[in-house]
Structure 1
Amino acid sequence: MQIRLFIIAITPAIIGLFAIYLTDRVDKEPGKLLFLTFILGALSVIPSIIVEEILIRLNVFKGVYNAFFNAFIVAALTEEYFKRLMILKVPYRTTYFNERLDGIVYGVFAALGFATVENIIYVVFTYTNNPFIGLYRGIFSVPAHGIFGVTMGYYLSLAKFATDERRRKANLRKSLTMPVLLHGIFDFILMANIPELTFLFVPYVVFIWWINERKLETFIYDSRNRVIKDKTKDITINDIIDKEE
């Protein structure tokens, strides 16, 4: 029983990891660094749980304000902050982070590392007798973490390759505020217990999937175009050498 639940818990993240890995076809990231980023994302659950427990105890709000605080501060801000911290401390500083697509790849690996551990906690240990939790989280929650990772990685890449300091700082801020915003709205819709708001949940998930798919496609195009330009430069240099000979 536990083994089956464990497989159910980790499968969505594995699918997501393979999907994002296969998008990076031109200049693939080293496997060891990707694995380390995944582990760091998984470990970020630990400080997240500690901070979340403290914030929950400090929460004095009621009703919809309680839902807002739990969604945006307790869950979204805490979790996205520590996932982002892990990326900034390791892959962001390496020489392997050498194109804009890399930010999204590392962002998703860290996010799905976190989501894997979180899903195991919920599916295997917390809601063992509720099979619908595994199904729901596999369809919505785990992919949502991946989407937040795309958003985070997108702005981290814009920051890393910014041409001036003002843009670098602005995009660094957005690499936290934007995933927190998307994550907070996602959780708030579910926590607010407002029937009219619940109807917006699926359209919202489709919307954030669509906008982040466009971000991903933009960086995939940039990655392939960069290689084409590099090859064109090589051909031009070779042609010059041939002519001189």
Structure 2
Amino acid sequence: MHPESNRMIILVFLLGMAIVPLVAIAECIPIGFHPEGGAIKCFLPSFFKDFLPLGGLLYIFLGVATIEEIAKFLVIKIKVLKSSELDEPLDIPLYMIIAALGFAAVENILVLSFPEKPLLIKEASIIIAFRFVGATFLHALASGTLGYFLARSFFTPKQKRKLLFTGFTLAIVLHGLFNFSIIKIGENMMVKNGQIILVNPQIFYFSLSALIAILVGLAVFVTFGFRDLKKLASICKITTNQSANSNH
């Protein structure tokens, strides 16, 4: 395995950070400001919730998870896939994870800087735990999963669309389920007089269990995916061999 250049690693991380404002705009589609308070009015979430059945749930999957997974993928597609520094299969999920970590870093800062409501210290601590641990791992592992299927597609070009569809579907569905679990945990937990109170313990613990299961499942998949990719010949060698064969 060849070490990746620090320049490319830093660049991909920064690009992952840079796409967050664009993703925020895409997830909102601003159409003005609310008369009271001056908050930005968003078209996309309102459209899902007002005009589609199960709109709130669909927005989590289609309006958030899908946009974020596509955005992180585009960083790699535009900057990495055609780079001469991409010389082995494992590079693809590694760079996907690096872009995801950059994305998660900015997203976490924005969530804590602009909360939907004023937070007590204990509430902020809980959110930090979920965001900096849970959401960061989620972004990295979901992108790593998609990166595995993307790397695999180089070796089976005839199945490229199928592999990419599978990778995107897994990443988006599990990302959406994670976000849904986070929302349910937040809805069923409150802080009163400095004490954490569970509004509905059954939903809270079920959502927490689902969240943990998603992260563990993704971690196991990515671990075995990395082992699988280590066994494959480098993309560079494959390209060279294919070129040599075509010249005979």
Long gaps (5+) in structure 2: 30-43, 189-199, 234-248
1:185 is aligned to 177
Give 1:27-176 correspondences, 5 Å limit: 27-54=2-29, 55-61=44-50, 65-126=54-115, 129=120, 130-159=124-153, 161-165=154-158, 167-176=159-168
CA RMSD, aligned part only?
2.7
- Distance in 1, matches of 2:45 and 2:232, equals 47
Structure with more contact order per residue of length (Cα contacts < 8 Å, sep ≥ 6)? 1
Q: Higher strand fraction: Structure 1 or Structure 2?
A: 2
2:16/2:72 contact within 8 Å kept:
yes
2:23/2:68 contact within 8 Å kept:
yes
1:204 is aligned to 210
Q: Higher helix fraction: Structure 1 or Structure 2?
A: 1
SS in 2 for 1:199: helix
1:132 shift after superposition: 2.7
Moved more, 121-130 or 107-116: 121-130
- Distance in 1, matches of 2:178 and 2:49, equals 22
1:90 shift after superposition: 0.9
Instruction: Provide closer, same or farther for how the CA distance between residues 106 and 122 of structure 1 changes in structure 2, counting only shifts above 3 A.
Output: same
1:131 shift after superposition: 3.2
Letter in 2 for 1:50: I
Instruction: Provide closer, same or farther for how the CA distance between residues 214 and 37 of structure 1 changes in structure 2, counting only shifts above 3 A.
Output: same
- Distance in 1, matches of 2:125 and 2:142, equals 25
Instruction: Provide closer, same or farther for how the CA distance between residues 183 and 31 of structure 1 changes in structure 2, counting only shifts above 3 A.
Output: same
1:125 shift after superposition: 4.1
Structure 1 vs Structure 2: percent identity of aligned residues? 25
TM-score, length-scaled by structure 1: 0.70
Over residues 193-214 of structure 1, what are the superposed CA-to-partner deviations in whole Å (9 max), with x where a residue is unaligned?
Answer: 5855543333333333333333
1:12 is aligned to none
Over residues 179-203 of structure 1, what are the superposed CA-to-partner deviations in whole Å (9 max), with x where a residue is unaligned?
Answer: 1111111112333558555433333
Moved more, 96-105 or 62-71: 62-71
SS in 2 for 1:110: helix
Give 1:224-239 correspondences, 5 Å limit: 225=231
Over residues 101-131 of structure 1, what are the superposed CA-to-partner deviations in whole Å (9 max), with x where a residue is unaligned?
Answer: 2122111111111100011111234367533
